[in-house]
Amino acid sequence: MLRFKTIFLTLIISSCAYLNAVAQRTEILLDEGWKFSKGSFPTAAEPNFNDKAWETVSVPHDWAISGPFDKEIDKQITAITQNGEKVASEKTGRTGALPYIGEGWYRKNLNLPILKPNQKVLLQIDGAMSEPRVYLNGKLVGQWNYGYNYFYIDITNDLKSNGNQLAIHLNNKPKSSRWYPGAGLYRNVHLIIKDEKSVDQWGITVTTPIAKKEFAKVNIKTKITGNNVRLVTQILDQSGKQIAIDTAKSFFGNEADQNIPISNPNLWSPEAPYLYTSVSSVYDGNVLKDVVKTRFGVREISYQANKGFSLNGQVRKFKGVCLHHDLGPLGTAINTAALRRQLTILKEMGCDAIRSSHNMPSPEQLELCDEMGFMFLAESFDEWAKAKVENGYHLYFDTDAEKDIVNLVKATKNHPCIVMWSSGNEVPDQFGAEGVKRAKWLQEIFHREDPTRPVTVGMDQVKATMQSGFGALLDVPGLNYRVHLYNDAYTAFPQGFILGSETASTVSSRGIYKFPVVKGFDKQYEDFQSSSYDMEYCSWSNLPDDDFVMQDDKPWVIGEFVWTGFDYLGEPTPYDTSWPSRSSYFGISDLAGLPKDRYYLYKSRWNKTEATLHILPHWNWEGREGQTTPVFVYTSYDSAELFLNGKSLGIRKKDKSSPQNRYRLMWMDVKYEPGTLKVVALDSNGKPVKEAQVKTAGKPAKIILTADRNEITADGKDLSYVTVSVVDKNGNICPTATDQLNFEVTGAGKFKAVCNGDATSLESFEMPTMKLFSGKLVVTIISDKKGGKIQLNVKGKSLTSGLIEIVSTK
C-alpha cells in the first residue's frame, strides 16, 4: 500500500510538471532597447521611420530629470487659492523648473516568441506622462489621458508575424501640474501573452470577509474568458507550502466565486506583514491553459463612530506620511530599490501608513508596502471638474473619471496594504451642490468596484463642506490642516470620527538654523532656506505639535498623514515666488533622503521599539559667542539634563503648558560657546539612561563614506545610496561644510545621481560633481549586469579622499 501511494504521488508530480511546462501565460518586461526623442515627429509612428539618431534608453525613463533647471520653464502667473492667495504672482520652480513640457516619442521593435493558435497579446502600461497614444505598425491601437493611471490594450489582431514596431507618443502641456510631474514612460511597460481560455487581466478579486486569529474565510472571485473550463485555486503560505485547494463548483456568467477556509491564519499588519499567495489554474479538459499568482493578506479593517479605525480588531491611529511620486534626483522613473530605501527610512521613524499624493500609486510601491507593512491610502485625483491649473485633470474629468477609478481599483484591489481610497484632494468642487453630487458619484463608483473599503476626500474648505453636506456624505471625512475646526467638524459630521488626511506642512532646511527662535508662518530669509528648529509653517498649516495634541487627546481623531515624508521636486513654498528655489521644504527628510531634525520629533512619538534622543542645533557658531542659541531635544524620554562643556544647564521635563513643551525639551536661554553640548536622558526615577552630544568641529579635513547597502544585485537596476560627509582632523562632523566634491565610480557599476538636499541648488543631479549642503550629500550608484566590485572615489580640494567598495552579485 505504501508503495502504491509513492508511485501515485510521483505520477501527480510528473503530471503537474508537464502541465506547468505547457502553461500559456508569459509576461515580458519591455525595459530595454527603446529609442527616444523629445519633439514633434509627425511620422514617428510609421514602422519605417528613421530613428537611428535617437537616444537609446531603458524604461522606466524620465526625460526631464537631466535638466537643466531653468526659471522660465512652466513659469506660472497665478494666485494659489489653496494657499489663500487673492492676487496672482509669478511662480517659479512650482513644477521643478525642469524641462518636462512638450512632446516625446518612444519606439521599440517587438521581438515576440512564436505565438500559438488561440493566444492573445496584451500591452500593459503602468504609467506614462502624459496623454499616451500607442501605435503598432503605424496604427493607433489605444490611448489614455491620465498620466498616473494603468491601462492595457489587446493588440492581438494588429500584430504581424514578425517585425512589429511599437511607438508611443506623449504630450505634456504647460500649466498641467502643481508639482513636478515628470515626463516619459516613467513606469513599467509589459507584454502579456496568454491563451484565449484564461483569467481576465485584473480579473481576480481576493477578499477576507472573515479574518480572525482562529479562522479566516478567503473569498476569491475569478473572471475567466472561455467556455467549458475548470478552475483550480490553491492557497500557499509565505514559504510556498500549499495550505488549501479548491475547485470552482460553478460559474455565474464568466465568474467563479470560491470561499476557502484557513485555520489559524497569520493576520497581516504593519508589525507582521504576512502574505499568502493564491494560485489560479485554468484547465481545458486536462490541459493547463493559464496560471495566475496573486499575493494577498488576511486582515480585517473597521471604521466605527466614536471608536475610530481598527485593524484585526485592534483600535489604532494612522502614523502616516504623504508622498509625491518623484524619487528626488532620480526623477519620476520608478525604481524598486529607491522606493525600498524610502520606506526603510520611514519604517525606522515608526511610520506605518502612506498616502499617495495626489495620484495613483505605482504597482511597485504597493508591493513593497504589502511586504514591509505600511497601510495605504490610495488617492486618485487632484482636480475634478473645476480647475486648479489651466491644463489639469478637469479637462478629462467628465469623460475619464469613472474609467480611471475602475482601472485603479481593478489593478490594485488585492493589495492588503490599501485600507482606504481617496477620490480627491482639496478640489475646488467642495463648494455648492454640484460638488456634493460629484463626491457622491465618485464614492459610489468606488463602492461598486470595491465594497470592502471606505472612501475619503482631503478637504481644506472645511466650513464649506460642513454647510453643503459634502463632508457628511463621505465614508471618512478627511481634513487637510484646519486643526482649529476639528471639534466643529466632529460635531457637524455624522461619521463619529475625523481623519487628518494632510497635516503639519512644517517647513525646514536640513542643518539650517535661524535666530531668534520664534514660532511663525511664511517666514522668508535672504538665503531662501527655512529654519530646522521646526517652528516655521505656512499661513494655512501648523506645527507638528498641534496635530500631536489632537491625536493624543481626541479618541475620535483616527490618525494623520503628514505633509510630507520626503521633500519633492516643485512647490517650493514659502519661496514659490523666489529664484532659485525648485523643490519643497515640507519633507521630514530632504530630497536626498537625509533625515532633518523633524524626523526625530516624529520618531520620538511613533517608534515604540527604539529609544530616541536627538539634540539640535549643530554647535559650530563662530561669531555667535555669548549670544542666545536655543537648544532643543527630541526624545522619547520625559526629561533630560543639558550640559555645555561639562556644566549643567538644568533639567527640562515635558509638560502640557504648551504644545511645544509637551513634545519637546527646550533650553531657550543657552549662550553659545564652542565645545561640547551634551544631553543626558533621565528615566522616571531621574536616573541617566541615554546620552547624545554634538561638538564644535574644526576645519574640514577628511571625506567619510557610508553606504545604505554594501551588497546589491547585478541586474542593471539595483542601487546603493552612499552618504558623503566631511569631518575635521579629530573625526567630528563638519555641519557647515560646503566643499565642492567630485565622484568617480569604477568596476561593476556606474554613477547614477547625486543630491545634497538643497532646495536652491541648480547643479545637475546627473553630473559627478556637487557641493556639500550642511556638510552632507548622497551619491547613488547603480549596478551593471556583470557583477563584481564597484568602487566609489570621492575627492575634494584640500580634503583626504574617501573610498568605498560595493559588491554587486548575480
Tell me the one-letter amino acid at 661. N
What do you get for the CA distance between the two ends of the chain, in Å?
46
Give the active site residue among 502, 560, 641, 763. Answer: 502
> Are 803 and 797 in contact, with CB atoms under 8 Å apart?
no
> Are 106 and 127 in contact, with CB atoms under 8 Å apart?
no
d(CA 584, CA 567): 5
260 strand-pairing partners: 218
**Interstrand relation of 520-521 and 251-252 (parallel, antiparallel or unpaired):** unpaired
Count of C-beta atoms within a 10 Å radius of residue 597: 22
d(CA 766, CA 96): 16
d(CA 667, CA 622): 20
d(CA 408, CA 380): 8
d(CA 206, CA 220): 5
d(CA 773, CA 753): 16
- Phi, psi (deg, nearest 5) at residue 533: -75, -5
Helix (H, G, I), strand (E, B) or coil at 24: coil
Q: Residue 663's closest CA among 692, 632, 693, 688?
A: 632
Which residues make Cβ contacts (< 8 Å) with residue 674, sequence separation at least 6? Answer: 619, 621, 622, 625, 696
364 labelled catalytic: no
d(CA 676, CA 732): 11
Cell of 540: 494655512
- Rounded alpha-carbon distances, angstroms, from residue 759 to 82, 93, 390: 22, 10, 26
Quick one: angle between helices 432-449 and 397-412, nearest 10?
A: 30
Give the active site residue among 383, 426, 449, 536. Answer: 426
Neighbour order of strands in the sheet with 719-727 = 702-707, 719-727, 776-783, 749-755
d(CA 374, CA 307): 21
744 labelled catalytic: no
55 strand-pairing partners: 36
Quick one: angle between helices 363-372 and 397-412, nearest 10?
A: 40
What is the DSSP secondary-structure string of 72-103? TTT-EEE--GGGT--S-EEE-STTTTS---EE
Which residues make Cβ contacts (< 8 Å) with residue 109, sequence separation at least 6? Answer: 33, 163, 164, 165, 166
- Phi, psi (deg, nearest 5) at residue 144: -145, 170
The catalytic site residues sit at: 426, 502
